[in-house]
Amino acid sequence: MPVKNRFAELLPEITAWRRDFHEHPELLYDVHRTAGKVADLLREFGCDEVTEGVGRTGVVGVIRGKTDSKGRVIGLRADMDALPINEQTGVEYASKTPGKMHACGHDGHTAMLLGAAKYLAETRNFDGTAVVIFQPAEEGGGGGDAMVKDGLIERWKIDEVYGMHNMPGVPTGTFAIKPGAMMAAADQFDITVTGKGGHAAKPHDCIDTTLTAAQIIVALQSIVSRNIDPLQNAVISVCVVSTDSTAHNVIPHVVKLKGTARSLDPGVRDQLEEGIIRVATNIAAAMGAIAEVQYDRGYPVTMNDDQATEWAAEVARQIAGDVNMDMQPMMGGEDFSYMLNERQGAYIFVGNGDTAMVHHPAYNFNDDAIPAGSSWYAGMIESRLPAA
Ligand code: NI
């Protein structure tokens, strides 16, 4: 089974959907136009059920196979939202909305899954039920979590769930996947250092918050290098430093730090949270200041099930001839992790070729990846629900 021939025929149509989504990017949960078009197309394809408004603006389509001897249900997921970036691709179908852009290829994911849905509704050559899931707010809004909390898994009785993302640098039309941790847990922290502001010429009358904050920033880097097992993976980055002073000669009363903490293992994640709170509060205390730490857990680790990874890789192998299973996990976050926490499944990368990296203003989804991507989505249904 190379690329399914039907997707070569459907390529102009799928490409047109993709470019239409690209021209009209929408952010987070505000994907009303995109979700509306997805729902209209699913109905036009003859899906057996189309439900809108799942997890606020998510869309779920149901396609029943020719038979259903075992009552098995497989979910396929795509994301629909764009990013707050000014597009610099120069393509004729570039974003019509300044400050919004499909810079992560979710336009491509949505179009590829629509293509697979059209094919599956035409052929229905499987035994069971395919559920196509279009989620909002992947880029920081937790739309995957919102759909799970809205009953996605139980309402549609999903047994396994699969997701796909394009990846620049991976050859077009090829795939990369690994068992275990694929993407990181992405948490954030806010540290407020309070001391005693005053005249910069009289530091002895102050409690210096900038010096305290500087010591905290340096000491936080000892958590990854000294507390975490060297064979594990973690990142702590302090990304924002701000004070209530704008003068050269005033020691500020308050300094605020903001940053991100990433990990691939639940135990390491606990160590990062504990460590950041311990280091910040105690360094501040040593300096006579007070540090308050707000640690917020974001997306969990995207954890591929071993068996499901092999099933997903086998379908990819049949399409592309080979699959890269030696890839390293990435420290970015992905909220498909909420669905993988509920059910057996896997998340795979499809190559976007030699393009700018995702989240870059010059990035563009590569339409040449569509036949492989749509074939993989459809192939997961036909291989996991073989026709009776
Ligand atoms: Ni993305």
| Domains of the chain listed by start with CATH number | 5-183+301-384 (3.40.630.10), 185-299 (3.30.70.360)
- Ligand 1: centre distance to CA 168 (Å): 11
- Ligand 1: centre distance to CA 164 (Å): 10
In this prediction the pTM is: 0.92
- Ligand 1: centre distance to CA 358 (Å): 7
- Ligand 1: centre distance to CA 78 (Å): 10
- Ligand 1: centre distance to CA 166 (Å): 8
What's residue 11's pLDDT?
97
**Phi/psi of residue 215, each to 5°?**
-65, -40
- Ligand 1: centre distance to CA 165 (Å): 7
First CA to last CA across the chain, in angstroms? 19
What's residue 107's pLDDT?
98
- Ligand 1: centre distance to CA 103 (Å): 8
What's residue 239's pLDDT?
96
Neighbours of 108 (CB within 10 A): 30
- Ligand 1: centre distance to CA 225 (Å): 29
Q: Which residues contact 127 (CB under 8 A, 6 or more apart)?
A: 65, 66, 67, 68, 69, 70, 72, 385, 386, 387, 388
- Ligand 1: centre distance to CA 49 (Å): 27
Tell me the per-residue pLDDT of 50-100, one tens digit each, with 9 for 90 and over.
999 999 999 999 999 999 999 999 999 999 999 999 999 999 999 999 999
- Ligand 1: centre distance to CA 334 (Å): 7
Question: Do 75 and 161 meet the contact criterion of CB atoms below 8 Å apart?
Answer: yes
SS3 state of residue 159:
coil
What's residue 366's pLDDT?
98
- Ligand 1: centre distance to CA 112 (Å): 14
- Ligand 1: centre distance to CA 90 (Å): 21
Question: Do 328 and 167 meet the contact criterion of CB atoms below 8 Å apart?
Answer: no
- Ligand 1: centre distance to CA 178 (Å): 18
- Ligand 1: centre distance to CA 10 (Å): 24
Stretches in the chain below the pLDDT threshold 50: none
- Ligand 1: centre distance to CA 156 (Å): 25
- Ligand 1: centre distance to CA 302 (Å): 13
- Ligand 1: centre distance to CA 177 (Å): 16
- Ligand 1: centre distance to CA 72 (Å): 29
- Ligand 1: centre distance to CA 39 (Å): 21
What's residue 2's pLDDT?
62
- Using CB atoms within 10 Å of the CB of residue 69, give its burial: 0 to 12 exposed, 13 to 18 middle, 19+ buried: exposed
Q: How many Å separate Cα 281 from the centre of its chain? A: 32
